[in-house]
Structure 1
Amino acid sequence: MPRPVLVLDLDGTVCLGDTPALLYATRVAALTDAPEALLETAQAFLGQRLPQSAPKTLMGAQDGYEAVKILGLAAGVTEEELSAAYVASRAEMSANPGDIHTPEGLVDLLAGIDAYRVILTNSPGSGLDEVLEHLGVRDVVDEVRTDALKPTRMTGHLDAFLDTVGAADTPEWLMSVGDIWRNDLAPAVERGCVAAYVDAFDRRQGPAHVRAGSFRDLYSAVLDWSNDPSSFLAAHPLKESVQC
Structure 2
Amino acid sequence: MAHFSQILVLDFDGTVCLGDGPVFVYARLIDEALASSSGGHPVGLVGDVVARFLGAGEEADHEPNEMVSAALELVGTSADGYSAAEKFARSLGITDAQLSAAYTGSRRDLAAGLVETHAPAGLGALLGSLPARVQIVLVTNAPDAGVHQQLTTLELAEYFDDVITSAGKPAGMPAVLAALLEAHQLTDHPERLLSVGDIWQNDLEPAARLGAETALIERLAAPGARPTYRAETIEELYPAITAWASASSA
Fold similarity call, TM over 0.5 = yes
**AA at the equivalent of 2:92:** A
| 1:241 paired residue number | none
Instruction: Decide which moves more: 16-25 or 202-211.
Output: 202-211
| 1:84 paired residue number | 101
Q: Which of 6, 9, 13 is the equivalent residue of 2:8?
A: 6
Runs of 4+ in structure 1 over 6 Å off: none
Instruction: Report how far residue 99 of structure 1 moved.
Output: 2.6
**AA at the equivalent of 1:100:** T
| 2:51 paired residue number | 43
Instruction: Report how far residue 98 of structure 1 moved.
Output: 3.0
Instruction: Report how far residue 208 of structure 1 moved.
Output: 0.8
| 2:69 paired residue number | 53
| 2:33 paired residue number | 31
State the SS of the aligned residue for 2:137. strand
**AA at the equivalent of 2:145:** S
Q: 1:160 to 1:60 in 2, by over 3 A?
A: same
Say if 1:42 and 1:68, in contact at 8 Å, map to a contact too. Answer: yes
Taking the aligned partners of 1:153 and 1:226, their CA distance within structure 2 comes to 25
| 2:38 paired residue number | none
**AA at the equivalent of 1:4:** Q
| 1:166 paired residue number | 185
State the SS of the aligned residue for 1:61. coil
Q: Which of 232, 236, 242 is the equivalent residue of 1:223?
A: 242
Say if 1:176 and 1:188, in contact at 8 Å, map to a contact too. Answer: yes
Instruction: Decide which moves more: 171-180 or 120-129.
Output: 120-129
Instruction: Report how far residue 229 of structure 1 moved.
Output: 7.0
| 1:237 paired residue number | none
Q: Structure 2: where are the runs of 5+ without partners?
A: 35-40
**AA at the equivalent of 1:111:** G
**AA at the equivalent of 1:208:** P
Residues 19-65 of structure 1: CA deviation (Å, up to 9, x unaligned): 11011011101012223222222222222648482421221111111
Instruction: Decide which moves more: 74-83 or 24-33.
Output: 74-83
Residues 91-126 of structure 1: CA deviation (Å, up to 9, x unaligned): 111113433111111011111112100000000002
CA RMSD, 1 decimal: 1.9
Say if 1:7 and 1:117, in contact at 8 Å, map to a contact too. Answer: yes
Instruction: Report how far residue 136 of structure 1 moved.
Output: 1.2
| 1:209 paired residue number | 228
| 1:144 paired residue number | 163
Instruction: Report how far residue 217 of structure 1 moved.
Output: 0.5
Taking the aligned partners of 2:7 and 2:139, their CA distance within structure 1 comes to 12
Say if 1:172 and 1:229, in contact at 8 Å, map to a contact too. Answer: no
Larger Cα Rg: Structure 1 or Structure 2?
2
Taking the aligned partners of 1:158 and 1:30, their CA distance within structure 2 comes to 37
Instruction: Report how far residue 205 of structure 1 moved.
Output: 3.0
Q: Does residue 112 in structure 1 map to residue 112 in structure 2? A: no
Residues 144-198 of structure 1: CA deviation (Å, up to 9, x unaligned): 0000000111111101111222211100000000111111111001000001111
